[in-house]
A and B are shown apart, each in its own frame.
Chain A
């Protein structure tokens, strides 16, 4: 068994920042990640980091823009923390050597981004995430922080008191991809989940193949509520053939969207009369799909993003990476031709419920970055707000887990604050609701052992249980292959739980996800090797995809209003009277429980009043 003070799961921006913060507090910290840190998907972030660094801007403006962008479903204490901490974190990155783009006076450059009242998106070309990830990994090397890379975390080790709020997380169970060894990792002070996105729930996504939402699914099954899962961001400019992202920076620099009739539809069709292409992402994505659905798309599928008028020099200076991406993955040279673009799954606003210090309702369990929901983004994330979230909340979780006294959190977690029950709509026969399955293959849930056991014994038990789970999967070489099950779920989600959602479609999706769950009962792993068995790992990830697809759809069906990224055909208005509340789902031993808790709109010195969100 490995022993550390703090264990960080995942090595992207949030995980690396958390580990550095814990180390700064003097903790013995280690990272366990299924990928080597530099392979993490933070590296694919292009646009930039919002931070109020300059005269004329202020953290309160950043907070206001973020709250408006969230369509008033963000929690003010989390949003204000993001806006207040971001400048310091950005300067910290600069001081660690990050190669930001520079202005003539030598200071770091900032540019306009959608939904921002000030050009505060600090960037490094169109490869900000790559520069950030590598800069932070450099710090990790400098500090000698231990990384267990290509170790896949199979389970969290959590005690099994009836109420999640009484449970404690003592560590994780890891699987060494290279050798197939399964071992326990004890965390004396805390486990920080930083596992990133869940884009693989969909089949057209900007996310990496590794983004299967493992941390969210594991925390969910261990008892932490997951929050606002229905809010999925569809980025308006992804390349149609692959889902590769074309940064919002293209529009920030002046790129224009056209339909097949050559209309600049964001203005000419009245989608966003003030901000046009730089309206919030949900607004632009719906506009594009409406154009396509009404017959003004190109090839019945996409619209054009044109940046030729910027001129080659400016494009090369600020967006060079886009030239490569468009050429390599779509065969279009954007200096000479407009790029075809369509909306693609990009970001999960929801995730593991945390407060503004990264803490979940389970003692010793933290989450930060995309896998967490504090909530900063509410129902819609603004461009340039994901990277500051990683570093701000990664740092806070790391400091807090390692024992620094941070200000008491304002945001309640679990059922400690005000809450109300919700009605779960589940259009399948009773009895089919049983997710627990009862056998090791179907479950793969958290290890629940009596709290009287010592943490060490608890971890040993969890390791044994994970070993028998893996043995069971490997003992069924002729079982159903995961790839087909996964692909069915992904297609169903893209068809029914996309930019536009209607009740019948959502119910169809739930039925299809339920069939996938049943098929998964007979899943097996053909590859019998213990060496680098990706067949096994993808099978385990597929289970996570099923649980999360279901959670997203259950949340979407429950929310009878149109807010931010969540559009409902039957409910075309934002209903502040009833719906200024977060969707919460608790695993509840495999029979998900739906409940709601109010959004926190009271900030440090003011209360945010919901206004009509127009751009």
Chain B
């Protein structure tokens, strides 16, 4: 739905009504008036859609001009546009520091986390759209339910038969093993990888890179023990699991936490093969 809406919006954007054009012109003038001579402004083109509001039922792009300051991120610019020009501009955001994973969007044609994307790294106009391949709820907000469902489909919780005998005693884990799972535990569930994945776009049941990475996090954790690892490999080997991945690396490229997703998927494929040979 999102892709479709975006395409429609592309066609719409050229035919903005006159009143809107005037508003934008006023905005440009206001920003110019307020900006000192050496201050830059940035031009944003922002996807807008609201299923219940006249004029927004058909997706469109709105233009905003925001004054630039050093270090300004895409999120800062959206907040400025919302608080200054249009309080109905809607997007998810919370921590502002790349840990809550709320603000993954499609910025200049690529999935990015807005709070850690510097405006100065982008070409103008900066085009901001919702994550592709997910239903748009409103403006830049997408429905994440499918993403959450896939994450939850892989038994995403620690399971072990190996707890120490004492009632409250820690399990030992080597530094190397902790290091092994470290990158995989960094996932912030932003959904950028899933949105960038061609396979996920075509196969709605594909677990997707984030969920497989979550499975990797447990499968590689020695504390879970061998039997559990078998079970983990069975889960990711299912029809819509690791074998769907065609190693295009798009997930790895967009991951804002630099998780080597494709490598993790490949490693699980190898583990699965080894495991199957063992029982052959």
Q: Do A and B come from one complex?
A: yes
- The A/B interface has a contact count, at CB < 8 Å, of 156
Docked complex: A77-110 residues within 8 A CB-CB of B: 87-88, 91-92, 94-97, 99-108
A242 CB, nearest partner CB in chain B, Å: 6
Is B178 within 8 A of A99, CB to CB? yes
Is B171 within 8 A of A95, CB to CB? yes
A245 CA / B182 CA spacing, docked (Å):
21
Contacts known (A91-B169, A106-B173, A141-B152); A208 close to B185, Cβ less than 8 A: no
A44, A88, A535: the one contacting B88 at CB < 8 Å is A535
B157, B174, B181, B218: the one contacting A106 at CB < 8 Å is B174
B117 CB, nearest partner CB in chain A, Å: 9
A483 CA / B81 CA spacing, docked (Å):
12
Q: Which residue of A lies closest to B139 (CB)?
A: A532
Query: In this assembly, does A527 line the interface, its C-beta being within 8 Å of a C-beta of chain B?
Result: yes
Residue among A104, A130, A139, A210 facing the most chain B CB atoms (10 A cut-off): A130
Q: Which residue of B lies closest to A534 (CB)?
A: B90
Query: In this assembly, does A468 line the interface, its C-beta being within 8 Å of a C-beta of chain B?
Result: no
Docked complex: B68-117 residues within 8 A CB-CB of A: 71, 82-83, 86-88, 90-102, 116
Docked complex: B192-210 residues within 8 A CB-CB of A: none
B-contact 0/1 string along A106-149, CB 8 Å cutoff: 11100000000000000001010011001100110110000000
Is B94 within 8 A of A96, CB to CB? no
Contacts known (A106-B174, A483-B83); A38 close to B94, Cβ less than 8 A: no
Q: Which residue of B lies closest to A87 (CB)?
A: B168
B147 CB, nearest partner CB in chain A, Å: 10
Q: Which residue of A lies closest to B222 (CB)?
A: A106
Q: Which residues of the partner chain B approach A294 to less than 8 Å between Cβ atoms?
A: none
Query: In this assembly, does B221 line the interface, its C-beta being within 8 Å of a C-beta of chain A?
Result: yes
Is A529 within 8 A of B50, CB to CB? yes
Q: Which residue of A lies closest to B172 (CB)?
A: A106
Query: In this assembly, does A244 line the interface, its C-beta being within 8 Å of a C-beta of chain B?
Result: yes
A235 CA / B31 CA spacing, docked (Å):
35
B88, B144, B186, B221: the one contacting A127 at CB < 8 Å is B186
Is A208 within 8 A of B96, CB to CB? yes
Q: Which residues of the partner chain A approach B91 to less than 8 Å between Cβ atoms?
A: 534
Query: In this assembly, does B128 line the interface, its C-beta being within 8 Å of a C-beta of chain A?
Result: no
Query: In this assembly, does B235 line the interface, its C-beta being within 8 Å of a C-beta of chain A?
Result: no
Q: Which of A225-233, A325-333, A585-593 contacts B (4 or more CB under 8 A)?
A: A325-333
Query: In this assembly, does B189 line the interface, its C-beta being within 8 Å of a C-beta of chain A?
Result: yes
Q: Which residues of the partner chain B approach A412 to less than 8 Å between Cβ atoms?
A: none
B51 CB, nearest partner CB in chain A, Å: 6
A36, A141, A528: the one contacting B53 at CB < 8 Å is A528
Chain B residues bordering chain A, tally (CB within 8 A): 57
Is A244 within 8 A of B96, CB to CB? yes
A91, A209, A331: the one contacting B96 at CB < 8 Å is A209
A330 CA / B93 CA spacing, docked (Å):
19
Is B88 within 8 A of A41, CB to CB? no
A138 CA / B88 CA spacing, docked (Å):
34
Q: Which residues of the partner chain B approach A290 to less than 8 Å between Cβ atoms?
A: none
B87, B95, B138, B171: the one contacting A43 at CB < 8 Å is B95
A182 CB, nearest partner CB in chain B, Å: 16
Q: Which residue of B lies closest to A483 (CB)?
A: B83
Query: In this assembly, does B265 line the interface, its C-beta being within 8 Å of a C-beta of chain A?
Result: no
Docked complex: A193-249 residues within 8 A CB-CB of B: 208-210, 241-245
A93 CB, nearest partner CB in chain B, Å: 10
Query: In this assembly, does A530 line the interface, its C-beta being within 8 Å of a C-beta of chain B?
Result: yes
4 additional A-B pairs beyond A108-B170, A209-B95, beta carbons within 8 Å, are A40-B100, A142-B155, A329-B71, A531-B51
Chain B interface residues toward A at CB < 8 A:
50-53, 71, 82-83, 86-88, 90-102, 116, 137-139, 141, 144, 148, 152, 155-158, 160, 163, 168-175, 178, 181-182, 185-189, 218, 221, 223-224
Mind listing 14 A-B residue pairs with CB under 8 Å?
A: A38-B100, A38-B188, A39-B92, A39-B102, A92-B168, A101-B178, A105-B172, A106-B174, A130-B99, A139-B157, A142-B157, A208-B94, A329-B97, A529-B53
